[in-house]
Amino acid sequence: MSAPIRKKRIAILISGRGSNMVSLIEAARAPDYPAEIVLVLSNRPDAAGLVRAREAGIPASAIDHKAFPDRARFDAALQAELEAAGVELIVLAGFMRILTDAFVEAWAGRMINIHPSLLPLFKGTHTHERALEAGVRLHGCTVHYVVPELDAGPIVAQAAVPVLPGDDADTLSARVIVQEHRLYPAALALIAGGGAVLDGGRVRFTAQERDAGAAILSL
Ligand code: GRF
């Protein structure tokens, strides 16, 4: 019998519906998945994702940012919860709160995010509208490490979708989110399992993972 793998302890931070969170929770049910979701936190008490996490048996709580006088004190409360749960890696999934540089630096190399565009294009919000305005033929999503500059950290994995004639922001975002739900669990597995490593501000893959093309999801 092979030894059980040591799973990385993950916290997912959300602000809303949590569909990416659900895809990660489902992927992490596999016995050979290299990460376990130990905690879900939301800065919004009304986030629908909190209910979905609890239904899946994951401890989930809200730390309402409105209850704190400034970002630093909100981040300190977050940090206390993460430490108490022995979290090793933070996964942002629709977390809509800017974190302080100090918090981001404390978690450097241990915090990832998913962004709904092919970075470095369309950082920030309203990515689908902006992709349509720009007339790009390909759009998609990116998993990246978090650095203090917004949506600028080292890229782990990307998935592309076509932009089709007649698309509006809703049809395009619906096409992208399907890929987000595939990409994020794959990217987290790469990181937690050691298949992707940070190396001088870029993400490098082990030979095995590179051969498998694990970081690119095709059209
Ligand atoms: C996703 O589109 C993600 O890329 C972005 O916020 C959205 C979150 O959706 N960062 P959900 O809460 O995971 O459904």
Burial (0-12, 13-18, 19+ Cβ within 10 Å), 25: buried
Is 115 among the catalytic positions?
Answer: yes
Identify any residues that bridge with 91 across adjacent strands, giving them in sequence order.
Answer: 12, 112
Which of 99, 180, 184 is the best mutation target for the ligand 1 pocket, counting ligand atoms within 8 Å of the beta carbon and taking the most? Answer: 180
Closest residue CA from atom 1 of ligand 1: 94
Closest to 24 measured CA to CA, from 171, 192, 167, 140: 192
Out of 115, 128, 139, 181, pick the active-site residue: 115
The token pair at 180 is 């987000």
Atom of ligand 1 nearest to the CA of 14: 12
- pLDDT for position 213: 65
Question: Could you count the other beta carbons within 10 Å of the beta carbon of residue 194?
Answer: 11
Atom of ligand 1 nearest to the CA of 116: 4
Rounded CA-CA distance 156/135 in Å is: 25
3-state secondary structure at position 77:
helix
The token pair at 128 is 């689908």
- pLDDT for position 219: 43
Ordered mean pLDDT values, 10 residues apiece, the chain (219 residues): 82 98 98 97 98 98 97 98 98 97 98 98 98 98 97 96 98 98 96 92 84 59
Length of the chain: 219
Residue at 38: amino acid letter: V
Query: Is residue 116 in contact with ligand 1, taking CB distance under 6 Å?
Result: yes
- pLDDT for position 1: 57
